[in-house]
Structure 1
Amino acid sequence: MSLHRPLRLLLFIALPLLILLIALVYSLTWRPLPRENAPVICHGQVPQLQPGQALKVMTWNVQYMAGKRYVFWYDLPGGDGPDERPSSEDLALTLDEVVRVLRDEQPDVVLLQELHDNAKASDHQDQLALLQARLGDLYPCSAQALYWKAAFVPHPRILGSVGMKLGTLSRFQITRAERLQLPMLEADLLSGQFQLKRALLVSYLPIRGGEELVAINTHFDAFAQGQNTMQRQVQMTDDLLQQLQGAGKTWVLGGDLNLLPPGQFQRLPEDQRSWYAADSELQDLARRYPMIPSLQQASGAEQAQ
Structure 2
Amino acid sequence: MNKVLKRILISVGIVIGVIALVLGGFIGYAYATDYRPDQETVLKVDQASQKETLNIGSEYTMITFNIGYGGLGEQQDFFMDGGSKSGADSLEEVNENLNAVQTYLTQTDPDFAFLQEVDLSGKRSFNVNQYEILRESMRFGSFAYNYKVKYVPVPFTNPQGGVESGIVTLSKAEPYEATRYSFDGQEMAIQQLFDLKRAFTISRFKIDGSDKELVLINAHFSAFDKGGKVRKQQVKQMQTVLETESKHGNYIILGGDFNHELPGTSADNFAWTEAIPSWVMQLPLDFAPKGYNWAVDPQNPTVRAVEAAYVDGYTYKAVIDGFLVSDNIEILHVEGQGTMNFKNSDHNPVQLHFKLK
Other structure's SS at 1:130 match: helix
Runs of 4+ in 1 over 4 A off after TM superposition: 16-23, 263-266, 294-299, 302-305
Q: Report whether the alignment pairs 1:240 with 2:241.
A: yes
Return the alpha-carbon distance in structure 1 between the equivalents of residues 273 and 22 of structure 2: 50
The aligned amino acid for 1:284 is D
Rounded to whole Å, the distance in 2 between the matches of 1:273 and 1:264 is: 17
Q: Separation in 2 of the partners of 1:35 and 1:88? A: 34
CA contact (8 A) 2:94 2:126 kept: no
Distance 1:162 1:51, change over 3 A: same
1:275 is matched with which residue: 255, 279, 300? 279
Q: TM-score, normalised by structure 2?
A: 0.70
- 1:204-226 Cα deviation digits (max 9, x unpaired): 11212343211111111112232
Q: Distance in 1 between matches of 2:75 and 2:235?
A: 30
More helix by share: 1
Q: Do the aligned partners of residues 71 and 38 (structure 1) sit closer, same or farther apart at CA in structure 2, a change above 3 Å counting?
A: same
1:183 to partner: Cα distance: 2.1
Aligned to 1:147: 146
Contact 2:242 2:289 in 1 (8 A): no
Residue of structure 2 equivalent to 1:40: 45
Higher strand share: 2
Whether the 8 Å CA contact 1:35–1:180 is kept in 2: the answer is: yes
* Preserved contact between residue 205 and residue 213 of structure 2 (Cα < 8 Å): yes
Match of 1:284 in 2: 286
Distance 1:86 1:266, change over 3 A: closer
| AA partner of residue 237 (structure 1) | M
Task: Tell me which residue corresponds to 2:102.
Answer: 99
Q: Name the structure, 1 or 2, with higher relative contact order (CA <8 Å, separation 6+).
A: 2
Against the structure 1 CA distance between its residues 297 and 25, is the aligned structure 2 distance closer, same or farther, given a 3 Å change threshold? closer
The answer to whether the aligner puts 1:174 opposite 2:178 as a matched pair is no
1:216-248 CA deviation, whole Å, 9 max, x = no partner?
Answer: 111111122324222211111111011000111
Tell me the equivalent position of 1:29. 34
2:191 corresponds in structure 1 to 191
Task: Give secondary structure in 1 for the equivalent of 2:226.
Answer: coil
Q: Deviations over 1:233-278 (max 9, x none)?
A: 111111101100011111111101111123656839793174334x
- 1:207 paired residue number: 207
C-alpha offsets along residues 185-215 of structure 1, whole Å, 9 cap, x if unaligned? 421x222112101111111112123432111
C-alpha contact 2:198 2:222 (8 A) present in aligned 1: yes
Residues 154 and 236 (structure 1), Cα distance of their counterparts in 2 relative to 1, 3 Å cut: same
Change (3 A) 1:269 1:244: farther
Q: Tell me the matched-pair count.
A: 283
The 1-side partners of 2:71 and 2:101 are apart by 11
Kindly provide the amino acid, as one letter, of the partner of residue 145 in structure 2.
Answer: L
Distance 2:178 2:298 in 1: 30
Structure 1 residue 121 corresponds to structure 2 residue 124: yes
Task: Tell me the distance in 2 between the aligned counterparts of 1:263 and 1:251.
Answer: 20
Contact 1:40 1:143 in 2 (8 A): yes
